[in-house]
A and B are shown apart, each in its own frame.
Chain A
Amino acid sequence: MRLSIPRFWRKRFDYYSVRISECLDCGRKFYPRRSICPYCRSRNVKVVTSRGVGEVLTYTVSYYRLEGYEEVIPKVIALIKLVEGPVLIGELVDVDISEVREGLKVEAVLRRLKSEDPAGLIYYGIKFRPIVG
C-alpha cells in the first residue's frame, strides 16, 4: 500500500474518526460517507461524525498474508453495527481472540495502519477495541 500524502491528507477526517452520512430525504444513514445517497440518489445528504461505538455482528480470524500488513497475524476482522445504524467492516484490536464474540460492544480507536517503509509515511486509521466495563 502506498497512498500519496495529499490523497491521505484530504481524507484525514475519515481516517481519524468514523464519519457516516445521513440522507435528509429518505432518512437512511450509511457508511462510508458519501455526497450521494446510495439508497435514493438524493444529494441532500449531510455528514455525521459517528460516536464510533457499536457491536460485533460477526467476525473472522484472518491469517491472510498481505504485504505491508504482516506485523500482526492473525487479525480479527469484524462486521460492526454502529449505534447510529450503519454497518461497516473493521479490525478489532486489544482483544484476545478467545474473547471475541457476536454482540461484543466495541469502540473506535486510532491505530497505526502500516508504515510503507522504515523512513516513509506512517498511516493511522480507525480500528475497534472492546469497551471495558
Chain B
Amino acid sequence: MSSNNVYLIASSMVRVGRYFSKSYKDLVVDVVNELFSSVGSIDIDYLIISNVFSDSILEQLDISTILTQELGLTPKPALRVETGESSGLTAITQGYSLIKSGIADTVLVVGVEKCSEFPTPTMNKHFIKFSDYEVESIYGLSVVNEAALLMKIYMRRYGYSREDLSSWSVKMHSNALKNPYAQLRFLISKEQVVRSQVISDPIRLLDMYPVGDGASAVLLSSKEGIVNNEALEVVDIAQATSQPLNLREDLLSLPATKIVFNKLLSRSKLDLNDLVIEVHDSFSILGYLILEELGLVEKGKAPSIIDDLDNVNLSGGLKARGHPIGATGVYQVAEVFKIMTTGLGDIKRDSCWGLIHSMSAVDNNSVGILVRRCSC
C-alpha cells in the first residue's frame, strides 16, 4: 500500500499586529471563517493548534479543545503542538504525518499567538523560556544575547562592520511593503538600523523581530482537487534538534538546520535560485547564517548578496512580517501557498518548488518542509 500524498489546498491569515480589541479566539475565528469561505464547506478530520504561550499568557491548557468548541468543530479530534518558536512548522509536519499515515484525510492547522496582552518586559520573561530554564533562563540569559554573541563572532571572523550587517533588515522591510499581512510595512535605511535602540550590542531594535499578535491557518488534504484553486504538494518534511550554543564545535554553524536542509535538498536537484524560500530570521544574523547553511551562498558571504536576493522571505520574514511565535511557521507556509498560487497581495512567483524553514532559539529545534506546485 502506498502512503497518501499530502496537499496544501488553502490558507488564510490576519495581518500581524497588536490587536487590543480582539482575543485569541476572535483571531482564530476570523482566519478559520476566511479559510472556509474560500474553499466551501469541507469536512475536516483533525484540528491541530500551534500555540506556545497558552498557559503562560492565556491561563489556558488544552487550548485545542477550547478552540474546537469555539469554532463549532466538536466532536472533531484536536491537539496542540509546541516546540518553541518552530511550533507552527512542527504543527504542519504533524498534520502531514496524520494524512501520510492514513489516520486523517483533511487536517486544519491553525497557529495563534497573543503577544501584546502584557508589556514587553513581561513578554520577554516568557520569551527567555526557549532556552533551558534551569541552566540559562534562570540567570536572565535570553536568545537575543546568544544572537548578539554570534553576531560579534561573525563580524570578527569575516571582517564586517556593524553597518554591513544591516542589509538584511533593509531588505526585509522592503519585501514586507508588498505583503498585506506584514506587521511592519515601511522602508528603513541602513542608517536607521545602526542608529536604532541597542538591545544587546551589536543587536539593535531593527535587527530583531517586532512583538505582535497573529493567527493563520492552512488546510492539508490527501486530495489535490477538492477545491478550485491550485494546490501545492507537501513533498517532504524534516526536523532535527541540537545541543545548546555553548556545546557546539563551531558557534557559527546551525547543526539541526543543516540536517534539515540536507534531507530536503537531497531528493532532487533543486536550483536554490528558483525556489521560493522562507527562513526563520528572528535576528538578522540568523538570517545570514541560515542562508549560508542552506548553501545559497558560501560561509561569510551572505551579507553581500542580500540586496540582490529576490526569492528569500518575500513576506518580509520574521523581521518585518512579524513573529507571532506559535503562529509564525503557519504564516510562512500560508504565505508561500499564496505566493505560488493566487498571489500574496501582488507577490507571485511561478517557481515549481518552495522551501520553508523554522527554528526555535538559535537552532535548538529546527524544521523544514518542501512543497511543489501540483502542475509542475
Contact = CB atoms under 8 A, between A and B. Distances in A.
Interface stretch (B24-32, B135-143, B180-188): B135-143
A46 interface: no
Contact of A66 (B132, B140, B198, B203): B140
Contacts of A65: 120-121, 124
Contacts of B121: 65-67, 70
A16 interface: no
A28 to B, nearest CB: 10
- Consensus secondary structure, chain B interface: helix
A58 B139 contact: no
Contact of B124 (A32, A67, A77, A127): A67
A68 B200 contact: no
B323 to A, nearest CB: 16
B200 A89 contact: no
Given A31-B246, A63-B200, A89 B146 contact: yes
Contacts of A123: 138
Contacts of B122: 67
A47 interface: no
Contacts of B197: 63
A59 B149 contact: yes
A119 B327 CA distance: 38
A40 to B, nearest CB: 13
A58 B153 contact: yes
A125 B142 contact: no
Interface in B222-259: 243, 245-247, 251
A65 B243 CA distance: 26
Contacts, number: 98
A83 B251 CA distance: 19
Interface residues of B, number: 36
A9 interface: no
Contacts of B199: 62-64
Contacts of B156: 58
Contacts of A15: 138
B128 interface: yes
A72 B79 CA distance: 41
A113 B140 contact: yes
B139 A91 contact: yes
A89 B246 contact: yes
In this complex, which of A30, A75, A88 has the most chain B Cβ atoms within 10 angstroms of its Cβ? Answer: A88
A127 B140 CA distance: 11
B245 A89 contact: yes
Interface string B138-158: 111110111011001100100
A3 to B, nearest CB: 7
B195 interface: no
B125 interface: yes
Interface of A: 1, 3, 7, 11, 14-15, 30-32, 38, 58-70, 75, 77, 79, 86-91, 113-114, 123, 125, 127
Given A3-B138, A7-B134, A59-B149, 15 more contacts: A58-B149, A58-B153, A58-B156, A65-B120, A66-B140, A67-B125, A70-B121, A77-B148, A79-B251, A86-B246, A89-B141, A89-B145, A89-B146, A91-B141, A125-B139
5 contacts: A31-B246, A60-B145, A60-B152, A67-B125, A90-B139
